[in-house]
């Protein structure tokens, strides 16, 4: 063999070895990372910061002046262009449907604002300072007369959701019932920068950092161990809580279970090529065809890219702008519930949701001017360390996944179990989408109870 051939062969072997080492490094497990429990996220320097640990009652108290100003804005709806013939929601929010909703908002919903505000205040709400930020949360305790064991559970929302997603489910969790030998004590926080929780003044408040804040909130309230239920960004944060604080989380339940490690993505890709190798035939359409899922994400993720790069720009367009805010957020409730709703003239919004419930969400973002601060999470979380590394740390926390047919993001058990090592429940549902708690609260409640029932007698 000549010198050139030997040199080429040696180079090829070297490159192959380096590639295999790189793959090994990408796929190897990582230890539980160290976290900073006291990292400061408030304004200015933390040098003289003394945390106010008091838990203070809170309630919405928006009076006539604020509502009259909103009515005046809705009286001056811009001249929206007519939708293209037959376009339905395929070009975005259909302007004819938007006019109808804006009219209802102005002439019906806001005329009953005292009623809606009372509805939003129906559960005890509080604020407390965590790491420099005022964190808002709902805290509902079961009635003393129930005489059942009480289990603490933190329930986490995402974007463009809010604590309002869980109003129909909270009474089910906290009330005595035949299907469970316990009742839940429910804590539903507004994520930092969302709704009534203060947004950070510092760069870097990612999902991983929010996981620490949410854990610290539970400790502040006296819970050394607790359950988690979550979806959307809440699912990312809850997953990280179950990874970082494995001795504290009793169980992790999610509507959007994920393993974003390189191995998790590789297994998802392989599953797309050989779906029946990893799935029962009746479950294949929950996950595949994989290319259809990718195509849908490319078509519908423009907002994601915008918010992950320029959240303040789109935030400026939406803040104080009820028309733009309603179109921008409600379109996500349409397509996120069922992708086929893009082809309906009304967007399918009232197939599962009342307009009052949807406008409650809009009001929370509008009244708090929190759309910009909520969207900044996309910048902080959309990086390689956040997306790829943390799920390389296995968690032994018991996990349960409620998989609704039209959830935006799904992964098979085969892909999940490298991260969720103790996946004990995985139920598939023929309907339901991204906002399952608001869309199908009875079904989701039943799934949570089934999951906790599996663990209840094993506690302690």
Q: Which residues are catalytic?
A: 232, 378, 434
Retrieve residue 383's tokens.
């990086």
How far apart (Å, rounded) are the C-alpha atoms in residues 186 and 230? 13
Main-chain dihedrals φ then ψ at residue 228, nearest 5 degrees: -130, 135
52-to-44, 132, 137, 360, 445 alpha-carbon distances in Å? 16, 9, 16, 30, 35
How many residues comprise the chain? Answer: 460
- Give CA separation, 20 vs 6, 28, 156, 259, 296, in Å: 21, 12, 39, 22, 33
Report the alpha-carbon distance of residue 187 to residue 241 in Å, rounded. 15
> What are the distances in angstroms from CA 319 to CA 273, 284, 330, 397, 446?
44, 41, 15, 40, 37
The string of DSSP codes covering 343-409 is GSTTTTGGGT--HHHHHHHHHHHHHHT-HHHHHHHHHHH-SHIIIIIGGGS-B-S-EEEEEETT-S-
Q: Which residues contact 399 (CB under 8 A, 6 or more apart)?
A: 242, 251, 252, 253, 254, 257, 416, 420, 422, 423, 424, 425
Q: SS3 for 79?
A: coil
Rounded Cα distance, 284 and 117, in Å: 44
DSSP state for residue 420 in the 8-state scheme: B
Residue with token string 């507004």: 190
In the chain, the N- to C-terminal Cα span, in Å, equals 69
Selection from 243, 182, 174 nearest residue 214 by Cα:
243
- CA–CA separation, 268 and 413 (whole Å): 10
What Cα–Cα distance (Å) separates residue 307 from each residue in 314, 316, 323, 409, 415?
7, 12, 19, 18, 28
């Amino acid at each position: 063999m000549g010198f050139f051939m030997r040199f080429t062969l040696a180079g090829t072997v070297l490159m192959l070895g380096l590639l295999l080492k790189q793959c090994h490094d990408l796929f190897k497990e990582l230890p539980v990372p160290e976290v900073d429990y006291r990292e400061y996220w408030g304004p200015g320097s933390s040098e003289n910061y003394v945390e106010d640990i008091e838990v203070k009652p809170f309630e919405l108290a928006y009076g006539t002046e604020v509502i009259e100003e909103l009515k005046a804005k809705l009286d001056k709806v811009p001249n929206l262009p007519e939708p293209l013939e037959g376009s339905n929601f395929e070009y975005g929010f259909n302007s004819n449907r938007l006019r109808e909703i804006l009219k209802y908002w102005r002439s019906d919903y806001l005329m009953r604002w005292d009623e809606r505000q009372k509805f939003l205040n129906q559960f005890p709400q509080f604020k407390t300072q965590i790491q420099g930020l005022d964190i808002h949360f709902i805290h509902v305790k079961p009635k003393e007369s129930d005489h059942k064991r009480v289990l603490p559970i933190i329930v986490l929302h995402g974007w463009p959701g809010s604590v309002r997603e869980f109003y129909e489910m909270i009474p089910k969790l906290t009330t005595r019932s035949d299907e469970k030998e316990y009742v839940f004590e429910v804590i539903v926080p507004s994520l930092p920068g969302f709704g009534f929780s203060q947004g950070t003044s510092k760069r870097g408040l990612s999902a991983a950092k929010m996981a620490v804040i949410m854990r610290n909130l539970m400790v502040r309230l006296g819970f050394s161990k607790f359950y988690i239920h979550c979806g959307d960004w809440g699912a990312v944060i809850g997953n990280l809580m179950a990874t970082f604080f494995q001795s504290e989380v009793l169980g992790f339940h999610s509507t959007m279970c994920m393993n974003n490690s390189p191995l998790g993505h590789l297994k998802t890709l392989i599953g797309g090529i050989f779906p029946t190798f990893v799935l029962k035939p009746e479950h294949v359409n929950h996950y595949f065809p994989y290319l259809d899922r990718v195509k849908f994400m490319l078509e519908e993720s423009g907002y994601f890219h915008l918010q992950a790069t320029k959240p303040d720009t789109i935030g400026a367009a939406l803040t104080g702008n009820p028309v733009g805010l309603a179109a921008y957020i409600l379109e996500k409730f349409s397509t996120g519930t069922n992708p086929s709703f893009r082809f309906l003239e009304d967007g399918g919004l009232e197939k599962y949701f009342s307009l009052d419930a949807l406008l409650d969400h809009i009001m929370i973002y509008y009244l708090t001017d929190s759309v910009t601060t909520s969207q900044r999470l996309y910048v902080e979380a959309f990086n390689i360390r956040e997306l790829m590394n943390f799920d390389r740390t296995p968690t032994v926390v018991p996990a349960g996944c409620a998989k609704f047919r039209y959830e935006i993001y799904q992964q098979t058990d085969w892909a999940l179990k490298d991260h969720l090592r103790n996946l004990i429940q995985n139920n598939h549902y023929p309907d339901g989408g991204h906002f399952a708690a608001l869309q199908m609260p009875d079904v989701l409640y039943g799934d949570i109870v089934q999951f906790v029932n599996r663990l209840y007698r094993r506690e302690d």
